[in-house]
């Protein structure tokens, strides 16, 4: 057998296509990287910096007399502000662990066993995620407050009232709120991981619980991402802080921020100083995540990954699993559903306890009431489509070799999650309502365009971290194999990578849509005149004592968002290539 020499044309023919396929022009890569960082600067960094700078330079934005001062930062470490920040930190740490602690066994059961109703469990998680945090808080208050429903039906349980209307209740509601985030991150990582790791553990005599301990470290990026997201989401949550925590006289940082802005006159520098502390706090879970994952590789997906075979549960194990999952959904969905539905069926001003469908009829027959629902659905579709693309790009960069730029990106995205939405929106006002922008023809303030940009920027950090666990499992050889056979970059990605992450991308899209659909703080501050999103319309009705109309709108909003989730997931099952649907789904 003879081999072609280096000068042999045949050898050149073999080398040429491979070299041409696998190399990309450095100029294009650098240009795309620069464009990505410019987008992040304009939609995340600039608005955040514009607001945070107020803490040390209030005069720069006409909010004080000093170009540089540390007075407001020093004040944040004293008095009620320090207490509120301290409460936010320990509550966020506990609720992040609760979210992962509940989500991991549920994700394992749905991904690895034949438990019935797996689709309903996932749908229930989406419904929990869809509800804004203020809705379950109001449901709990309505249930346990003195002279509330619990007492009206004859249950005189003051210890329950004191528990729920206190730190325990705040931790409970926020912990439940974190479960869907953790579930989505962990379940998609489990779904994409093959059967061979569990089989290897079982061959060596491991029990089922021991095999779980073998698999858990493999999906460590997803678990740590879930913890980081849970911490940041709890730190930045405003709905619970303004309802359950406020009613319980348990001060949290986000409400103190709101109070500083809502006072007359407002103190934006004081709010900005508290935002500094909240942003800095996300460095704790980020440092723990980096320490735990340093020097390890989690790229386990390849063309030889085996499809998962679901484990059969006996009758006792199935009953126990269904009971625990049912208890979770009873706490997470039963109470807020009762509060919303009971309110929507009462007369408009709550003056009568007679049940009526008049509020639903009023919403359906009024364009002023129904248009905000359709408007928010459109905003959600546009925002989710933009964010899922940027989220994948960010997740891909986060899983590459740890460089200074990836560390900066990692902190920037997680810090953006920790910034309360009301502060994020205030930053957009400061950054894009400056007089000099109007002089150069940039008039974004109070436009739909700026609202969608703000939605996208606030959704991108969570979206990217949800995808990190799956993207970290992708081996470079998946795309390179398609490139070797002459496929162009986009086609190579569609053939080699898209089938493996199509399901996570679908979940990321739905996560963004549901998060944007009922978002309140950004919508309240940035919506275009005469075009209120549904959350603003609901808030306007509730604040004007039209409780029945407002709760009826909220019920319609939840049903519409759930309908979108069902339609999108159904379209994926019907229209996506068969191979895409098989990857990431376990066999029966």
The string of pLDDT tens digits covering residues 101-142 is 998 888 888 887 878 887 888 888 877 877 778 778 877 877
Reported as a pLDDT band with limits 50, 70 and 90, residue 451 is: very high
CA distance 88 to 275: 12
| Burial label, 379 (beta-carbon count in 10 A; 0-12, 13-18, 19+) | buried
8 A C-beta contact, residue 248 and residue 142:
no
| Segment among 158-172, 303-317, 358-372, 432-446 with least mean pLDDT | 303-317
- State yes or no: pLDDT of 384 exceeds 50: yes
Is 527 among the domain residues?
Answer: yes
pLDDT of residue 485: 61
pLDDT given at position 230: 85
HSE of 153 in the Cβ direction (CA atoms, 13 Å)?
6
Task: Give me the pLDDT at residue 174, please.
Answer: 93
Q: What are the CA-CA distances from residue 408 to residues 38, 390, 472, 514, 548 (Å)?
A: 14, 16, 18, 28, 47
Q: Is residue 135, in this structure, part of any structural domain at all?
A: yes
Tally of structural domains, the chain: 1
CATH number of the domain enclosing 149: 1.10.3720.10
Residue 11: pLDDT above 70? no
Q: How far apart are CA 36 and CA 24, in angstroms?
A: 18
pLDDT, residue 170, reads 94
Number of other residues whose CB lies within 10 A of the CB of residue 205:
7
Ramachandran bin of 79, using left for φ above 0, alpha for ψ from -120 to 50, beta for the remaining angles:
left
Look at residues 182, 262, 192 and name the one whose alpha carbon lies nearest to residue 497: 192
Tokens of 299: 């790229």
Tokens 């539905």, located at residue = 341
- Per-residue pLDDT tens for 189-236? 776 565 555 655 556 555 566 666 666 666 777 787 788 888 888 888
Residue 48 lies in a domain: no
Residue 381 pLDDT class (50, 70, 90 cuts):
very high
Between 284 and 3, whose confidence is greater?
284
Cα–Cα distance, 84 to 72 (Å, whole number)? 16
List the structure tokens of 391: 């989220």
Give Cα separations from 314 to 15, 112, 295, 309, 321 (angstroms).
Answer: 57, 14, 41, 16, 11
Q: What interhelical angle do 220-236 and 253-262 show, nearest 10? A: 40
- Mean pLDDT for 412-435 is 75
Alpha helices in 113-215 (DSSP H): 118-130, 134-144, 149-152, 158-164, 167-192, 196-203, 208-215
C-beta separation of 184 from 511 below 8 A = yes
Q: Is residue 474 part of a domain?
A: yes
**What is the span of the domain harbouring residue 355?**
66-582
Among residues 43, 4, 28, 115, the alpha carbon closest in space to that of 428 is found at 43
Cα separation, 539 vs 210, in Å, equals 50
For residue 530, give both structure tokens. 């005469």
What separation, in Å, do the N-terminal and C-terminal C-alpha atoms of the chain show?
50
CA distance 428 to 451: 9
The span from the CA of 189 to the CA of 474, in Å, is 11
Region 83-90: mean pLDDT is 91
In a domain, 288, yes or no: yes
Residue 426 pLDDT: 78
Q: Let me know: does 227 contact 289? Beta carbons within 8 Å.
A: yes
Contact between 133 and 240 (Cβ < 8 Å): yes
**Is 519 within a domain?**
yes
pLDDT at 379: 94
- In angstroms, rounded to a whole number, what is the distance separating the alpha carbons of residues 471 and 286? 18
Residue 398 has, within 13 A of its CA and on its CB side, a CA count of: 32
Cis peptide, bond prior to residue 265, ω within 30 of zero: yes
pLDDT at residue 171 in the model: 94
Distance of CA 232 to the CA centre of its chain: 10
pLDDT 10s digits, 141-199: 777 877 666 776 677 888 888 889 999 999 999 999 999 888 887 887 776 565 555 65
* pLDDT computed for residue 382 by the predictor: 94
**What is the reported pTM?**
0.69
Is 58 part of any domain? Answer: no
- Across 69-73, 107-111, 168-172, 403-407, least confident range: 403-407
**pLDDT tens track for 453-475:** 999 988 888 788 778 777 776 66
Q: Please state which of the ranges 254-268, 311-325, 399-413 shows the lowest mean pLDDT.
A: 399-413
Q: Which residue has the tokens 């086609």?
A: 491
Quickly state the pLDDT bin for 479 (edges 50, 70, 90): low
Is the pLDDT at 262 greater than 80? The verdict is: no
Where do we find the tokens 């930190």? 89
Rounded CA gap, 568 and 585, in Å? Answer: 17
Q: Does 101 fall in a domain? A: yes
Cα–Cα nearest to 445, from 529, 567, 354, 329: 529
Q: Could you identify the residue written with the tokens 């407050």? A: 145
The helix/strand/coil state of 511 is helix
> Sorting pLDDT into bands at 50, 70 and 90, what band is 29?
low
């Amino acid at each position: 057998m003879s081999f072609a020499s280096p000068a042999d044309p045949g050898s050149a023919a073999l080398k040429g296509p491979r070299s041409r396929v696998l190399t990309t022009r450095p100029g294009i890569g650098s240009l795309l990287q620069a464009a990505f960082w410019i987008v992040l600067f304009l939609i995340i960094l600039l608005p955040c910096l514009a607001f945070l700078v107020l803490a040390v330079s209030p005069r720069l934005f006409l909010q004080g007399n000093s170009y540089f001062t540390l007075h407001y930062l020093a004040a944040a470490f004293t008095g009620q502000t320090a207490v509120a920040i301290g409460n936010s930190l320990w509550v966020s740490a506990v609720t992040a662990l609760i979210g992962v602690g509940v989500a991991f066994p549920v994700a394992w059961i749905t991904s690895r066993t034949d438990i019935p109703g797996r689709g309903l469990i996932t749908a229930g998680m989406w419904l929990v995620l869809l509800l804004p945090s203020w809705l379950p808080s109001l449901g709990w208050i309505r249930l346990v407050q003195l002279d509330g429903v619990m007492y009206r039906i004859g249950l005189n349980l003051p210890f329950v009232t004191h528990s729920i209307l206190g730190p325990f209740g705040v931790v409970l509601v926020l912990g439940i709120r974190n479960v869907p985030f953790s579930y989505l991150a962990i379940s998609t990582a489990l779904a994409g991981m093959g059967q061979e790791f569990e089989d290897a553990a079982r061959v060596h005599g491991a029990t089922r619980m021991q095999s779980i301990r073998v698999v858990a470290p493999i999906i460590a990026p997803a678990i740590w991402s879930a913890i980081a997201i849970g911490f940041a989401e709890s730190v930045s949550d405003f709905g619970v802080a303004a309802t359950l925590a406020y009613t319980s006289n348990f001060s949290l940082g986000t409400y103190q921020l709101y109070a500083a802005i809502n006072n007359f006159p407002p103190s934006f520098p004081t709010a900005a100083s508290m935002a500094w502390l909240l942003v800095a706090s996300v460095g704790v879970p980020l440092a723990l995540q980096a320490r735990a994952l340093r020097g390890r590789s989690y790229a386990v997906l390849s063309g030889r990954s085996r499809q998962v075979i679901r484990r059969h549960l006996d009758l006792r194990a199935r009953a126990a699993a269904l009971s625990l999952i049912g208890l979770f959904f009873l706490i997470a969905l039963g109470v807020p559903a009762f509060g919303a539905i009971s309110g929507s069926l009462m007369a408009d001003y709550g003056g009568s306890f007679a049940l009526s469908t008049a509020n639903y009829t009023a919403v359906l027959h009024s364009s002023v009431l129904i248009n905000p629902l359709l408007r928010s659905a459109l905003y959600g579709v546009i925002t989710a489509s933009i964010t899922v693309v940027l989220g994948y790009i960010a997740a891909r960069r986060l899983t590459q070799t740890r460089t200074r730029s990836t560390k900066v990106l990692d902190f920037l995205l997680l810090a953006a999650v920790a910034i309360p939405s009301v502060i994020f929106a205030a930053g957009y006002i400061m950054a894009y309502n400056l007089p000099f922008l109007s002089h150069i023809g940039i008039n974004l303030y109070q436009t739909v365009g700026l609202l969608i940009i703000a939605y996208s920027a606030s959704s991108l950090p969570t979206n990217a971290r949800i995808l990190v666990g799956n993207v970290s499992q992708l081996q470079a050889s998946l795309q390179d194999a398609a490139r070797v056979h002459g496929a162009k970059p986009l086609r190579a990605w569609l053939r080699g990578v898209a089938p493996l992450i199509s399901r996570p991308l679908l979940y990321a899209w739905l996560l963004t849509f549901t998060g944007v659909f009922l978002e309140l703080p950004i919508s309240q501050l940035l919506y275009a005149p005469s075009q209120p999103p549904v959350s603003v319309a609901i808030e306007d009705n509730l604040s004007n004592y039209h409780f029945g109309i407002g709760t009826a709108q909220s019920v319609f909003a939840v049903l519409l968002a759930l309908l979108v989730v069902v339609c999108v997931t159904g379209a994926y099952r019907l229209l996506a290539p068969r191979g895409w649907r098989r990857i990431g789904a376990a066999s029966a």
